[in-house]
């Protein structure tokens, strides 16, 4: 392919006498005459010192830029935002978390679209900037590679951020004292990297690799490692190869590729947030993906990984035995992955997995297919008179598959958390937290603090929790989120009263309020929609534009 064709979009920005003003601006940031003849590669960095997940990404971006430059491109680095779920959970600021996914996608699309980059490398390390990066790159549909920032090391005594959340509940019940709580707080987060279990960050990194949008191995590397630096350099070079071969995100992010991503998420026991994010990512490339697809695929894919939060091991320990590539090879050989899907290497998934060795003998992290942790998916889509459009549960089997209890209704996360810590929530309760959906929050907060408090108080096997909000990848127990329609849209969750009986059945995939249809209709007729909680700023805009959780909670669905 000729040099001019390789440059594509950037030629519209820098070629010709009438583009002299733009070239003058670029000379000020380091361009030479030769650079104007090179393909331009935007390096989207999510660096900030707000959170350990992203505190090292500035260095990773430098290595990605080097890789692009050494391969014959000209790199330009720009930043987008990140927020910290771990810091904001349990606080009203968490309303901005899911909103940040849209801001990140919008900003990458905006910068790269304006500047005329030919290709993009995006580096993300936290829950929302990973799908946000993919969505931004997908909308532009220019040759692109995603790089995961990598996982954190375990804290003292094999602890992580979820250990701290659950220690709060243990302190509330008197199991540990303030000094012990402080010890966990002070040692659980030892340095850079994303939260250490198969929580949302590691789940989405794995899903993106299975999707074909990151290089093989990128999702299972330590944040601070030579391996991760090399991954970044190779990603920068890979974009030039994609440009040469004219391979774009829409060539990679096909329906079959999304099925591969779902399969790997299930096998790893990944976060319910993957459902929300994969729906949104598919929307960005006009791939039809629905909640029922997760159930269809989940019927034949087992959970194989014994990883936190429900299991014993951390991502860093999976890294030590080979990451997810041997798992993907196992799934491919069993006919559970589409091997002909194209990836950012320019090769198919099957070609990438050629020669991948199996896990070492004696490892206990990934179980064999004939001895799964669960024979089918832990991600269960429930429907019933309480969630006509669907809800998402994470049922590993350890919680049981059926729960019937008495509703204890709360209008916000804060109100619920306070009562849990006071001991007001008892065995047999079905905790209902409503008006926390995408519109009602607004922002669809994660209910990590309440679920962790329930676990810390020793109620994990005797209390269920349902919400139109969502859950952290670190949440576990009998929890159901994404209830749709959400309460503020007049979904049945809005008319549940404390004392009502609720049944959750993961075998029949039902979630039902034990009232007859006439009583439900009567209550809904009397229900009055609350006033919007905000009427200015980004949250107000989000509430007006956001789609249902059952559609990925995207903000650009106008069809």
CB of 108 closer than 8 Å to CB of 132: yes
Residue tagged active-site, from 377, 472, 484, 550:
472
Rounded Cα distance between 23 and 29, Å, is: 10
DSSP state of 486: -
Strand spans (E) along 80-177:
119-124, 144-148
Rounded alpha-carbon distances, angstroms, from residue 334 to 322, 339, 401? 19, 11, 27
**400, 376 contact by CB (below 8 A):** no
Sheet architecture: strand order including 74-79: 74-79, 40-45, 119-124, 144-148
120 and 65 in contact (C-beta within 8 Å)?
no
Establish how many alpha carbons lie within 13 A of residue 482's alpha carbon, considering only the half-sphere containing its beta carbon.
Answer: 30
472 is catalytic: yes
Q: Hey, is 158 helix, strand or coil?
A: coil
Residue 424: phi and psi, rounded to 5, are: -75, -25
- Alpha-carbon distance of 291 to 271, in angstroms, equals 15
Cis peptide before 485 (omega within 30 of 0): yes
Burial 505-519 (b: 16+ CB within 10 A, else e): bbeebbbbbebeeee
What are the DSSP calls for 90-106, one per residue? Answer: TSGGGHHHHHHHHHHHH
Work out the end-to-end distance of the chain between its first and last CA atoms, rounded to an integer number of angstroms. Answer: 37
Residue 335: Cβ within 10 Å count: 9
SS3 state at 339: coil
Any idea which residues carry the catalytic annotation?
A: 472
């Amino acid at each position: 392919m000729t040099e001019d064709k390789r440059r594509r979009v950037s030629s519209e920005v820098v070629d010709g006498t009438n583009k002299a003003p733009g070239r003058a601006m670029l000379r000020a940031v380091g361009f030479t005459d030769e650079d104007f003849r090179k393909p331009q590669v935007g390096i989207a960095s999510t660096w900030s010192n707000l959170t350990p997940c992203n505190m090292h990404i500035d260095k990773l971006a430098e290595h990605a830029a080097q890789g692009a430059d050494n391969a014959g491109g000209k790199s330009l680095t720009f930043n987008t935002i990140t927020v910290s779920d771990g810091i904001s959970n349990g606080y009203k600021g968490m309303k901005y978390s899911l909103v940040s996914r849209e801001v990140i996608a919008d900003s990458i699309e905006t910068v790269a679209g304006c500047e005329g980059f030919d290709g993009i490398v995006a580096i993300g390390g936290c829950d929302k900037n990973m799908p946000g990066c993919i969505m931004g790159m997908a909308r532009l549909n220019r040759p692109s590679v995603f790089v995961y920032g990598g996982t954190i090391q375990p804290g003292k005594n094999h602890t992580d951020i979820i250990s701290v959340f659950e220690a709060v509940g243990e302190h509330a019940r008197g199991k540990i004292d303030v000094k012990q709580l402080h010890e966990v707080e002070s040692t659980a987060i030892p340095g850079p990297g994303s939260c250490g279990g198969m929580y949302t960050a590691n789940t989405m990194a794995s899903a993106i690799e299975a999707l074909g949008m990151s290089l093989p191995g990128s999702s299972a590397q330590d944040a601070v490692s030579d391996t991760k630096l090399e991954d970044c350099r190779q990603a920068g070079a890979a974009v030039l190869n994609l440009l040469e071969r004219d391979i774009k995100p829409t060539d990679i992010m096909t329906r079959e590729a999304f099925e591969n991503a779902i399969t790997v998420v299930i096998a790893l026991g990944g976060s319910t947030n993957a459902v929300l994010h994969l729906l949104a990512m598919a929307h960005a490339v006009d791939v039809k993906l629905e909640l029922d697809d997760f159930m269809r695929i989940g019927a034949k894919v087992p959970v194989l990984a014994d990883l936190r939060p429900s299991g014993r091991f951390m991502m860093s320990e999976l890294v030590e035995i080979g990451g997810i590539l041997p798992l993907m090879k196992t799934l491919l050989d069993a006919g559970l992955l589409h091997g002909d899907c194209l990836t950012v290497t320019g090769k198919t998934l099957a070609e990438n997995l050629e020669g991948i060795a199996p896990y070492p003998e004696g490892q206990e992290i990934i179980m064999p297919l004939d001895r799964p942790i669960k024979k089918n998916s832990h991600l269960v889509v429930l429907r019933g008179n309480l969630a006509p459009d669907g809800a998402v549960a994470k049922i590993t089997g350890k919680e049981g598959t059926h729960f019937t209890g008495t509703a204890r209704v709360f209008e916000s996360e804060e109100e619920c958390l306070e009562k849990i810590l006071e001991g007001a929530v008892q065995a047999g309760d079905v905790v209902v937290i409503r008006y926390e959906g995408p519109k009602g929050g607004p922002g669809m907060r994660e209910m990590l603090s309440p679920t962790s408090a329930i676990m810390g108080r020793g109620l994990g096997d005797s209390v269920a929790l349902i919400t139109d909000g969502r859950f952290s990848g670190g949440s576990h127990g009998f929890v159901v989120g994404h209830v749709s329609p959400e309460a503020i849209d007049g979904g049945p969750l809005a008319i549940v009263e404390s004392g009502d009986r609720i049944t959750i059945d993961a075998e029949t995939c039902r979630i039902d309020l034990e009232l007859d249809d006439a009583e439900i209709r009567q209550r809904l007729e009397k229900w009055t929609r609350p006033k919007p909680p905000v009427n200015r700023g980004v949250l107000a805009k989000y509430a007006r534009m956001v789609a249902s959780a059952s559609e990925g909670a995207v903000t650009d669905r106008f069809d």
